[in-house]
Chain A
Amino acid sequence: MLALDLFVNGLIFGLFYALMAVGLAMIFGVLKVVNFAHGEFYMVGAYTYVLCSMKLGITPWLALPLAAVAGAALGWTVERLLMRPLYAGYSSWSIMKDEYAVVVTFGLSLLLINLVDKVVGPYPYRGPALIETSRFAVGPVMLNGQKLIAAGISIALLVGLALFIKRSLWGRQIQAVAQNRLGASLAGIDATRTTSLIFAVSGLLAALAGALLAPLINPSPDVGAFPAVKSYVIVVLGGMGSIWGAMIASLLLGVLESFFAVYVSYDYRDAFGLLILMLVLIFRPQGLIGEKGRDV
């Protein structure tokens, strides 16, 4: 039945979106800035996976964690080199904080896209699938093997992340810094190191999303643009900074898009997400789930 099929596929894509969006939500929760290079973490993950398995002959199952590592390394480096001025005591920056974040992450995005374009080439690659089964039926729904495995891994990662944040020491430090940076450092938490960790985790998740989807969506250097935009939509929908909000909004967007593409218009499916973004920002900037920030 078509509707069920659309629903399940929508959910699966929602899971992938969640991997992307959750990292972005974390960054926003802590720094209150949008990372416009987030799509490139995804792209780097996809390319690492593809190049490792195709050029270096590494088995895809090993290329996955390699992609994760690449993403984490990139995230950590970006934070270390570029993001410090936003909070490491540079008081005169308070005036230009938002502009700085936009300009710098935008520049970074352009840099990464063009570097990859130059070094690897602009043509799309096809990533090897993790398992070679193609379509098969699970109940009334048609799936393919890669999607199923990718979905499974995504669920595992998201659950793992949730546990990490809730239970581990690092996770609690992240929560503390997100709520009150100054307070957290006064309590002895190394806020800077925690922020590096957040960027690393964000990069890792996005890179894995890219790697998992590489066999399904042939990566080219600007492959990160659309997932990035979707992430913004999700982060805003879920309430900027709320991880749970991002997860729920991801699934919601995945399903909505899936139905929209078939029942309304395939071409405009990406614009659909953007329209939602605009409407939410205008009418309910705190998102569907987030809390209203205070003004003045």
Chain B
Amino acid sequence: MSGERNLWSRRLALDLRASLGVVAALAIVPAFVDSPYWLGVLIVSVYFALLALGWNLLAGFTGQFSLAPAAFAMLGAYTTALLDYHWKVPLALGIPAAIVSTALLGWLLGRVVLRLKGPYLALTTLSFAEIARVVIGNSYVFTRGDQGLNVPALFHSRVGYYYLFLGVLLAVLAGLYFLMRARAGRFWLAIRDDEIGAESRGIDVVRYKTLAFALSCAICGLAGSLYGTFSQLVSPELGLLLQTGLVISMVVVGGMGSLTGPIVGALIVYLASEWLREVGNIQMIVFSIAVILFARFLRTGLWGLATRAP
């Protein structure tokens, strides 16, 4: 970006306006589309948009390249599902519980990986994600393993779910905007750019890193929990590394380090995925090529392309 527009506060404001525009566009879709199938597709893409926003907070803004976002979605979903399955806890408590449990676990994970960078961080978070998935998948007695658990629905209207997800997206977007605009956001960016420099200037890197982990994982956990009530089924497949791969692709294609990028990336990738599935089941091939090409030639993603200085 050139000139004044490159100031962080301006960049972020532009970013927010663009993302609100996308949300607004999504909000009027049900006026034109009433096929439950396509509404469902859009709901799932908003689910992914939430995961993408959560992961972007950690990786795009704070520079911590975790491979665990899908695992936390799974953990959030299972928190709600297990509370219902074993103790009949109502969703009004079960969903917030998912936020709390994933925030805590995320905070813990953040503390554990504090000193790790790059491939070490990626491998540790990958191990954590896979261990979580394998443990849940194998604890048949507690979690019914691969068969998954049924989850009650919040309500039975697909349009209702559509607006619920959209509402949560809006809330997360607003929350992220206010955080990124304030001290926390600037410190996260500083940590991303130069952790040692940040420390030497008095930024409490430990606190902000673990905070980023907690928030990011909580967003993923919330998304997972809501998804569980929508699909009325949770299974360990939610936490597959493949899902994390999808999330990463979405953010890379959309543009890391922005608010609009992850949302747009999620929509494009997931909608394209559905379309490609009909065309010949080649969606994953196309994405992986897209991811590779973007990473190689267009690092800043579509958002970076759109906001590049002329």
Contact = CB atoms under 8 A, between A and B. Distances in A.
* Nearest 3 interchain pairs by C-beta: A111-B288, A107-B291, A98-B118
A182 interface: no
B207 interface: no
B281 interface: yes
Interface in B266-296: 281-282, 284-285, 287-289, 291-292, 295-296
Contact of B123 (A34, A99, A101, A113): A34
A285 B114 CA distance: 12
Given A28-B119, A111-B285, A275-B127, 13 more contacts: A98-B122, A107-B289, A107-B295, A110-B242, A111-B284, A114-B285, A118-B281, A232-B126, A274-B130, A278-B127, A281-B124, A285-B116, A285-B120
A63 interface: no
Contacts of B113: 282
B59 A278 contact: no
Contacts of A240: 119-120
Nearest to B192: A95
Contacts of B256: 99
A175 B131 CA distance: 35
A110 B127 contact: no
B212 to A, nearest CB: 16
A82 B285 contact: no
Nearest to B67: A102
Nearest to B118: A98
Contacts of A33: 118-119
Given A34-B122, A102-B122, A110 B131 contact: no
A98 B119 contact: yes
Interface of B: 59, 65, 67, 112-113, 115-120, 122-124, 126-128, 130-131, 134-135, 138, 193, 196, 241-242, 245, 248-249, 252, 256, 281-282, 284-285, 287-289, 291-292, 295-296, 299
Interface in A269-292: 270-271, 274-275, 277-278, 281-282, 285
5 contacts: A103-B248, A240-B119, A270-B130, A271-B130, A278-B127
Contact of B248 (A95, A106, A232, A296): A106
Contacts of A271: 130-131, 134-135, 138
A61 interface: no
Contacts of A118: 281-282, 285
